[in-house]
Amino acid sequence: MAFTLIVMIFAITNSRIAVDRVEALEKSVVTSSHVASIVAANLGEVFGRTSIYARLSTTFLEQPHDNAQPGNPLAIGDAAFLRMAIFDADGQLAYSSSRREVEPELQLFARTVLYAETPQWLVIGSNSVTDARAGWRIPVAVPLVSGQRRIGAFAGYIDLGYLLALYKEASLGTRSRIEIIDNRGLQLAEMVDGTVSAGIDLERTGYASFIGSPQLSGTIDAARPGDSGASIGVFRRLDHFPLVVTVTRDRAAVLDELTSRNTQSLIRATLISLLILMASAGLIVLAQRQRGLNAGLTASEARNRTLINQLEAEKVRAFQLASLDFLTNIPNRMKFYELAAIELSRARRSRRLTAVFFLDLDKFKVINDTHGHSVGDLLLQQVASRLRLSLRGHDLAARLGGDEFSVLVSDLDNDEAVAIVARKLVASLSEPYLDLDGHDLDITPSIGVALYPGDGEEIDTLLSRADRAMYLAKQSGRGCFRFYEASLNATSARSAELVTRFARALRDGEFCLHYQQRVACIDFRPVGLEALVRWQHPEHGLIFPGEFIELAEEHDCIVALGNHVIDMACAQVAHWQALGLALLPVAINISARQLRDETLPDILTACLKKYALPAALIEIEVTESCFIEQPALAEKVLRALNELGLRISLDDYGTGFSGLSHLKRLPISTVKIDRSFIRDIRNDNSDAVIVSSTISLSHNLGLKVVAEGVETRDQVVHLKTAGCDELQGYYFHRPAPAAEITALLRHPQAYAA
C-alpha cells in the first residue's frame, strides 16, 4: 500500500511537472504574440508615415523652393527616421534633413524607385546598403508622383534599432528575441536580451519557413541557425508592408524557469515518500510486535487449556481408579453414589420400586481379631462375589467401607418382590465360607432396606434410612433384614424426645456454638474459625449436630435453628471485637433448606447491621447437596450472599458428585475436601491421588483448598506437599467453647500448633 501511495505521489508530481511545462510554453507563446502584435502595429505605423512624408515632399517639389529654406515640412524631424531627403525628377538632391550637400547612398536608393520600370510606391532596402556597424538602419524610398508623372523621390533611413529598443522593457524573460525580417528572409534588425543587432540571412532556413507561407501570423517551434536548441514563439506579418516581426524565446530558457519549482515538487514528493516509508516501517514493526504478542498469548492460552484438560483427565482417571474397591473389585462408596443417582433419576420416570439395601456382616470384627486381617479380606472378597452372583446384571452392589456393603435393585413390583431379594441375599451370604486360608467360617448379614420413592428421593436419605433399618435388623437378632419405617426415627425414644423439645430448646438458649480453628498450611498460623452447633441438653448433656441436624431438617426446624446460629455467631464476633482482640473470620454452616429461603440474605444483612460487623468477618459453608433440590433458587440465594461480601466455601467436597468444573459457575472461593478422603491418605493410594489432583484442579480454577479432619502428621506432610492452602482437624485444634477461643485470640502464640 505504501508502495502504491509513493508511486501515486510521483505520478501526480510528474504529471504536474508535465502540465506546468506545457502551460509555461503556452504562456510564453501568448506573451510573445502580444508583443509581436504591438511591435507589428508600431512598425506598420512608422512605415505608414512614409506616405505622409511622400505627400509633403511632393508639395515641396511642386512649389518653388530653396534647399536651405526653413519651414520645409520634413524639418520637424521624426525619431524613427534617422535622415530624410527629397530628390527631384533628375535624381538630384532637393532637400536633406541633415542639411548635407549630397546624399550619395540615399540618392542611389532614390534613383531605384525613380527609374524603376514598374512603379512601386515604397521600396525598403536592407542594411547591406549601409555600413555594417548599424545594420538596423534601413533605407526606404517612395516615388513622388504628380498627375501621371514621377517628379521625384522621397528617401530616408528608418532606425529599426530605435524601434526595437522601445521594447527593451517588455517582460519577455531571458534569452528572448524580437526580430524584423523582410520578405526575402533577410533579417533587418533583432534585439536579443536588450542588445540590438542585424544582418543575418535567414532565407531557406527551417526557422524562417513562414516566409513563403501566406499566413498572417503563426507559431514558431524550430531551431534557429546557429542555436543548439529550439525556439518557441510567434511570427507576425505586417498588414501593408513586406515585413515580418518574430518574437521568440529559447525553449530551454522557458523551461529552465520551472526547474526550481519542479525541483521543489520533487523534493516534497521525496520527503512525503520517505515519511510514508518510515511510517510504514513503524507500522510493520508494530504489527510484527503485536503479532508476536498475540502468538505468545495464544500459545499460553493453549498451554493453559492443555493443562486444564490434563488435570481434568487426571481427575477422571483418579475417580475411575478410585471408583472400584481395591479389595473386592466391586464399586466403592463413591461409585455407588454416582451410579445410584443415575439409577434414581431413571426410576423417577417409571412407576416401579427401587430398593436400597444396607448390609453389614454380623460380628465381622471378631473374625478379623481372631483370624487376622488376611482372612477378613478373603471373607470380604467372597461376600462381594456372592452378592454379584445373587443379583441381576444391572443391579448394583458396592462396598461402602469395612464390612458394610450396599445394593441397589430397581424395577421391582411391590414390597414382596423386595423382600424376596432381601431374603435371597440373607440366604446367600449366610452359607458357610469354606477354606478361607484354611479356615471355614459361618457368618450372617444384617440388612436394612429403604424404598424409593416412599422412604426418600435422594440416595443419601435412602442409604441412611437403610442404615437405620439395618440397626433394627441387628437389634432383632441379626441374620435377617428389616424395612425402614417412617416411624423409625420416632421409635428412637431419644430422637422423639429431641424433636418435641426443639422449639423450647431454641427459646431457652440450649444451643451453643463451639469453634474450631483453621490454620494456614504454610506456618500453621490460625486463619479462621468454624462455628459448630452443640445442644447443651439439661438431661443428656452435650449433643452433637450429627444427632439433631437431620432431625431438625426433617421436622422443619432447621431454618429457625440456622437463624439462631447466625445470630449467636455474629454476637460472639461482636463480643470479641468489643474486647479488642485480633479477629478471625467465622464460617457458619448453612443447610440446603436454609439456602432455599429467599430471606436468608436479609437475615444476614440485618444481623451484620445489628452487631455492626463487616461482611468480611463472616463466611458461609454450603454442601453440594444444597444444589440438588431447586438448584436455581439455591444458586440465586448464594449469589445474593456473595454480593453481600460473604466468602463462600464448598463443604464436604468429594461426597457429592458435581465435579469441580460443574461448580465453577457458582460464586465459591474455597473448597473443603471431605475428611473421608483425608482419613485414608496413605502413600500411593487412590485417596492420596484424589486429594492431590483436587488441589491442583481447584488451584487452576482459582479456588482455595482446605483439608478437613486432619488427624495425623503424615496427613499434614502429604497435604503440605500437595500444595493445600489450609488445614482443619484434631491434629491442630478440636472444636472448643467460645471462652477457650477468647483465650486463644488473646495469646495466639501460646496455642500455636
Out of 194, 259, 544, 662, the residue judged to bind ligand C2E by CB under 6 A: 544
Q: Given the complex with Mg ion, which of 32 and 642 has the nearer CB atom?
A: 642
Choice from 188, 353, 557, 565 touching ligand C2E (CB under 6 A)? 565
CB closer to ligand C2E out of 328 and 589: 589
Q: Is 651 in the site for ligand C2E (CB under 6 A)?
A: yes
549 contacts ligand C2E (rule: CB under 6 A): yes
- By CB under 6 A, tell whether 652 contacts ligand C2E: yes
In the complex, what is the shortest distance from the CB of residue 672 to ligand C2E, in angstroms, rounded to a whole number? Answer: 7
CA distance 153 to 141: 7
**Choice between 91 and 545, CB closer to ligand C2E:** 545
Dist CA 610 CA 68 (whole Å): 145
**Is 516 a residue that touches ligand C2E (CB under 6 A)?**
yes
CB of 634 to Mg ion, least distance (A): 17
Using CB distances below 5 to 8 A depending on partner kind, what does residue 152 bind out of Mg ion, ligand C2E, none?
none
> Phi and psi (nearest 5°) for 749?
-65, -30
735 binds, among ligand C2E, Mg ion, none (CB under 5 to 8 A by kind): ligand C2E
Q: Check: CB of residue 605 under 8 Å from CB of residue 644.
A: yes
Among 624, 651, 687, 726, binds Mg ion (CB under 5 A): 651
With CB under 5 A as the contact rule, the residue among 395, 455, 597, 621 that binds Mg ion is: 621
The string of DSSP codes covering 349-388 is TSSSEEEEEEEEETTHHHHHHHH-HHHHHHHHHHHHHHHH
Nearer to ligand C2E, 115 or 730 (CB): 730
The CB-of-681 to ligand C2E minimum distance in angstroms stands at 12
Q: Say which amino acid occupies 198.
A: A
Q: Taking the chain, what is the end-to-end CA distance rounded to the nearest angstrom?
A: 72
For 162-176, give one letter per residue: b (16+ CB within 10 A) or e. bbbbebeebebeebb
What is the contact mask toward Mg ion in residues 569 to 608, using x (rule: CB under 5 A)?
A: --------------------x-------------------
Q: Name the 3-class secondary structure at 334.
A: helix
Neighbours of 185 (CB within 10 A): 19
Whether the link from the prior residue into 453 is cis, omega within 30° of 0, is yes
Q: Which stretch binds Mg ion (CB under 5 A): 18-26, 138-146, 512-520, 703-711?
A: 703-711
Least distance to ligand C2E from the beta carbon of 416, Å? 38
What are the φ and ψ backbone dihedral angles of 238, each rounded to 5 degrees?
Answer: -75, 150
Contact 244, 181 (CB under 8 A): yes
Q: Nearest Cα to 153, choosing from 226, 67, 304, 50?
A: 50
Amino acid identity at 511: F
Of the residues 64, 70, 546, 580, which one makes contact with ligand C2E according to CB under 6 A: 546
Q: Report the distance separating Cα 574 and Cα 584, nearest Å.
A: 12
Judged by CB under 5 A, the stretch of 91-99, 162-170, 377-385, 708-716 that binds Mg ion is 708-716
**Counting contacts by CB under 5 A, is residue 726 touching Mg ion?**
no
C-beta of residue 30 within 8 angstroms of C-beta of residue 305: no
d(CA 380, CA 437): 13
User: E strands along 538-573, which residues?
Assistant: 541-543
Question: What residue has cell string 534585439?
Answer: 191
Q: Order across the sheet with 187-192: list the strands.
A: 195-197, 187-192, 176-182, 243-250, 231-237, 217-220
Rounded to a whole number of angstroms, the minimum distance from the CB of residue 587 to Mg ion is 7
Least distance from Mg ion to the Cβ atom of residue 410, Å: 31
Do residues 225 and 207 make contact, with C-beta atoms less than 8 angstroms apart?
yes
Q: Residue 135 half-sphere exposure, CB side, CA atoms within 13 Å?
A: 21
Residue 618's nearest CA partner among 637, 597, 596, 601 is 601
The 10 Å Cβ neighbour count of residue 491 is: 12
Among 708, 718, 722, 725, interactor with ligand C2E by CB under 6 A = 708
Name the one range near ligand C2E by CB under 6 A: 213-221, 310-318, 695-703, 709-717. 709-717
CA–CA distance, 74 with 548 (Å, rounded to integer): 154
DSSP assigned state of 129:
G
- Asked whether 652 and 672 are in contact (CB, 8 A), the reply is yes
- What's the rounded Cα separation, in Å, for the pair 471 and 152? 171
Query: Within 13 A of 395's CA, how many CA atoms are on the CB side?
Result: 21
Minimum gap (Å) between residue 380 Cβ and Mg ion: 28
Stretch that binds Mg ion, among 51-59, 81-89, 614-622, 721-729 (CB under 5 A): 614-622
Mapping DSSP to helix (H, G, I), strand (E, B) and coil, where does residue 264 land? helix
**Residue matched to cell numbers 515538487:** 265
Nearest residue to ligand C2E, scored by beta-carbon proximity: 729
Q: Which stretch binds ligand C2E (CB under 6 A): 151-159, 369-377, 461-469, 544-552?
A: 544-552
Using the rule CB under 5 A, give the single segment among 447-455, 596-604, 619-627, 630-638 that binds Mg ion: 619-627
Binding mask 591-610 for ligand C2E (x = CB under 6 A): x-------------------
Q: Are strands 433-436 and 439-441 parallel, antiparallel or unpaired?
A: antiparallel
String marking each residue 385-404 x if it binds ligand C2E according to CB under 6 A: --------------------
Residue closer to ligand C2E by CB (options 381, 536) is 536
Nearer to Mg ion, 81 or 677 (CB): 677
Binding-site partner at residue 360 among Mg ion, ligand C2E, none, CB < 5 to 8 Å by type:
none
Which residue stretches of 183-250 are H helix? none
| CB closer to Mg ion, 367 vs 690 | 690
Q: Which does 549 bind (CB under 5 to 8 A by kind): ligand C2E, Mg ion, none?
A: ligand C2E
Nearer to Mg ion, 621 or 726 (CB): 621
Instruction: Identify which range of 39-47, 290-298, 473-481, 541-549 contacts ligand C2E by CB under 6 A.
Output: 541-549
Q: In the structure, how many helices (H) and strands (E) does the chain have?
A: 21, 28
Alpha carbon distance 271, 245 (integer Å):
47
| Chosen from Mg ion, ligand C2E, none, partner binding at 153 (C-beta under 5 to 8 Å by type) | none
Q: Answer yes or no whether residue 681 interacts with ligand C2E by CB under 6 A.
A: no
Contact track, ligand C2E, 721-750, x by CB under 6 A: -------xxx----x---------------
Q: Does 572 bind ligand C2E (CB under 6 A)?
A: no
Give yes or no for residue 44 binding ligand C2E (CB under 6 A): no
CB of 514 to ligand C2E, least distance (A): 7
**How far apart are CB 735 and ligand C2E at their closest, in Å?**
5
Under rule CB under 6 A, residue 675 binds ligand C2E: yes
Closest CA to 156 of 106, 208, 115, 200: 106
Nearer to ligand C2E by C-beta: 380 or 590?
590
Q: Can residue 654 be called a binding residue for ligand C2E (CB under 6 A)?
A: no
The grid cell for 622 is 454450603
Does residue 541 belong to the site contacting ligand C2E (CB under 6 A)? no
Q: Does residue 533 belong to the site contacting ligand C2E (CB under 6 A)?
A: yes
Provide the minimum distance between the beta carbon of 512 and ligand C2E in the complex, in angstroms, as a whole number.
11
By CB under 6 A, residue 562 contacts ligand C2E: yes
Helix (H, G, I), strand (E, B) or coil at 442: coil
Q: Which residues contact ligand C2E by CB under 6 A?
A: 516, 532-533, 544-546, 549, 562, 565, 589, 591, 621, 651-652, 675, 708-711, 728-730, 735
The binding site for Mg ion (CB under 5 A) comprises 589, 621, 651-652, 708
